[in-house]
Structure 1
Amino acid sequence: MKQTTKVILLSLLVFPGIGHLVLKKYAIAIGFIASFAYLLLGLVKDIHDKTQQVIESMIRGEIPMQVSAIRQALIDHGALDNPNLTTIGYILLIIWVLAAFDAYRISNNSSNNITEQSS
């Protein structure tokens, strides 16, 4: 498998920044990994906190055990249809695509430089 394909697949399918580790671009890799992990953990924590509030309300009997009531409670608490969570999701997607594109760009430039030097 070509290195360009390998770094793109690692960046897209494993985690943003892993392709940069293969390319030995450690500073860029840490930047992508840290920014993505920070936002992802914040997103998961926020969703967990909001759903935990709904679960506690269900245990206290404030919310009936019906799907429609639970869904409405999740919407009311901001776990669903939350613009902030949607924005964070889009930012995560942008970071993921940028990491894959940048890994491709660096790998492609390295391949072109090697080809030019051997000619």
Structure 2
Amino acid sequence: MKKSLKAVLISAFIYPGVGHFLFKQYVTGTIIMVGFTVPLWLLITEMFTKTEQVIINIQRGDIPLTIDAISDAILMSSGASMQTLNMYSYALLTFWIIGIVDIYRVSSKR
């Protein structure tokens, strides 16, 4: 397998930015990895916060065990709004695409 294809596949399926390390693009790879990791961490943190609040309310009996009630509780729970969670998701997607396109650009030059 060619080194360029391997780098693109690693950035696409393993973790964005890791493919840059095959071409000794350490700074660019690190920037893309950090840019992907921060919104990922924020998204996961907010999801766990919302989930924990809903679980506590279910255990207290405030929320019945129905899909509709749980879905409404998640949407109404405090913490980040759905718009903020969408923003984190768009940031993840953006850094993922940038990582793939940039490693393709770097590998095609060589």
Give the TM-score category using the shorter length.
over 0.9
Q: What is the DSSP-based 3-state SS (H/G/I as helix, E as strand, rest coil) of the residue aligned with 2:32?
A: helix
TM-superposition CA deviations, 1:81-110 (whole Å, max 9, x none)? 811111110111010010011001111111
Superposition misfits of 4+ residues, deviation over 3 angstroms: none
Superposition TM-score, scaled by structure 2 size: 0.93
Per the TM alignment, residue 65 of structure 1 is displaced from its structure 2 partner at its CA by: 1.1
Could you tell me which residue of structure 2 aligns to residue 53 of structure 1?
Answer: 53
Q: What is the DSSP-based 3-state SS (H/G/I as helix, E as strand, rest coil) of the residue aligned with 1:98?
A: helix
The whole-number CA distance in structure 2 between the counterparts of 1:33 and 1:5 is: 19
TM-superposition CA deviations, 1:22-45 (whole Å, max 9, x none)? 111111111111121111011100
The whole-number CA distance in structure 2 between the counterparts of 1:78 and 1:27 is: 37
Q: Kindly, what percent of the aligned residue pairs are identical?
A: 32
Could you tell me which residue of structure 1 aligns to residue 3 of structure 2?
Answer: 3
Aligned length: 109
Could you tell me which residue of structure 1 aligns to residue 30 of structure 2?
Answer: 30
Could you tell me which residue of structure 2 aligns to residue 14 of structure 1?
Answer: 14
TM-superposition CA deviations, 1:7-26 (whole Å, max 9, x none)? 11010000000110111111
The answer to whether the Cα contact below 8 Å between 2:42 and 2:88 also exists between their aligned partners in 1 is no
Q: Structure 1: state its 5+ residue gaps.
A: 111-119
Q: Structure 2: state its 5+ residue gaps.
A: none
